[in-house]
Every structure is written in structure tokens, then in C-alpha cells.
Amino acid sequence: MTVLVNDIPNIEELENTFSQHGIVRIEHFLQQDSAEALSVYLSSTVDFDNAFHLEGSNRQASDKEISELQAENRKQLYQAIYQDAAKGSGFLYGRNKITTQSSVPLSNVLSLMNNESVISIIKQITNKLTLTQADAQATRFRVGDFLTRHIDDVSGETRQIAYVLGLSPFWHPDWGGLLQFFEKNGTPTKAWSPLFNSLTLFDVSQVHSVTSIAPFAGKSRYSITGWYRN
């Protein structure tokens, strides 16, 4: 599967938007055939581990491992995850780390995000001229999955710009999964519904969350996410 980027004609406009808000969204980022094929591949072929926060540490378990738990133990696991989240610290979602050894469609995405021309565009839009590389992970948010309020500026790392490549077509905003932004004091500001084939860029200092997927959501929310680093 070849993954190709569209021409981006409005770079100056995107640059001005990012300069004002520290957040911008590029619509129709991939060529349509690439976006559609990648969306199908994520929803039908990719295996995800469930990443979650529990008792002060970040953990993960495969779908199989969780399904093999006794019903009561599985219930207790989710209750504990939700209790942590209720205190403002938690997450639960599917994750597949992408490396150069990943399957060809995923490794192609990683190569694309690290392509010299793509990095040049990201530098221009964000005015982060020292960016050198991007990492990537495929993500899946199913009913009940969420990511509580946080920032991506982690001490000891070189993250500068976070990105979200949306790969869920025909997403209804009432289904949840909104990329929600906040003031430093927790006041909500922007909330962006998943938009198919869009690349959202934001400064790692931005406080944000992914709202919980509603029980009536028609499908899971898929994306490729990561950070551009120095």
C-alpha cells in the first residue's frame, strides 16, 4: 500500500492560524485512495494493545489477555481504571507502536511523516525550524475509551509538535472522541470532532484530552498519532 500526501496550497494561511492559536488542522492531507485504504487496514487488520493507567503506572494488555479474565476480574479492572480517571489521571485506548519493522502500510506512514518534504511543511506551518523526526502509533478508541486532560510536553523528551491523522470516515460528533482543548486552569476552549483524512497539529504545551466514546457510537475511532521532535 502506497501512502501519498496531497499538495497543500494554503500553507501561509495554516501558518497564520498556528501562530495565533498553537493549533491547526490540515484537511485532505493524504490522497483520497491512500486515506481510504489506510482506514480499512486499521479497522480490519491491525492488532492493538489496550493502553491504560492503573494504580499510578501506565500498563497495557492485549484484547486476548483482557477477554480471558474472569468476568468479575474484568469488571474490577475497568472500575479501577475509571476510578483513576475520575481523579483526573487516566486513559484507556488501543495502541500499536509503529516502527520501521511494522507491516508495510504502517511503516510507509512512518516513512511519510519523516519525509524531508513533509517535515519541511510542518516546520513552515509551526515555525519550529529545529524539527528533525517524527514517531508514530496507530490508535483505536472503542466504546468507553478515553484520554483525560494532559499536556504532551514531557521532561527529558524532545517533543515539540503533536499530530493526529484522522482515519475515521463519517464520524458523528455525538459519538464522542472529540479532541478537546483547555485553558491552563481547565476551562474548555476548542473541541474538534474526528475529521477523516485531516492532520491536526498542535504545540505540546496545549492542554488537551480525547473525550470518551459514547455507548451508542456506530464504530471505533481510528487515527495515527505521534510527535515531531528536535
In the predicted structure, residue 130 carries a pLDDT above the cut 90: yes
Distance CA(183)–CA(185), nearest Å, equals: 5
C-beta of residue 81 within 8 angstroms of C-beta of residue 52: yes
- Reported pTM: 0.96
How confident is the model at residue 88, as a pLDDT? 87
**What domains does the chain contain, in order, with CATH numbers?**
11-45+105-229 (2.60.120.620)
How confident is the model at residue 2, as a pLDDT? 83
How confident is the model at residue 119, as a pLDDT? 98
Average pLDDT of the residues of the chain: 96
C-beta of residue 181 within 8 angstroms of C-beta of residue 149: no
Q: What is the pLDDT of residues 167-195, one digit of tens each?
A: 999 999 999 999 999 999 999 999 999 99
pLDDT mean over 115-139: 97
In the predicted structure, residue 228 carries a pLDDT above the cut 80: yes
Q: What is the pLDDT of residues 80-115, one digit of tens each?
A: 999 999 988 899 999 999 999 999 999 999 999 999
How confident is the model at residue 55, as a pLDDT? 87
How confident is the model at residue 89, as a pLDDT? 87
In the predicted structure, residue 155 carries a pLDDT above the cut 90: no
Q: What is the pLDDT of residues 37-73, one digit of tens each?
A: 999 999 999 999 999 999 889 999 999 999 999 999 9
pLDDT mean over 209-223: 97
In the predicted structure, residue 221 carries a pLDDT above the cut 90: yes
Residues above pLDDT 70, as percent of the chain: 100
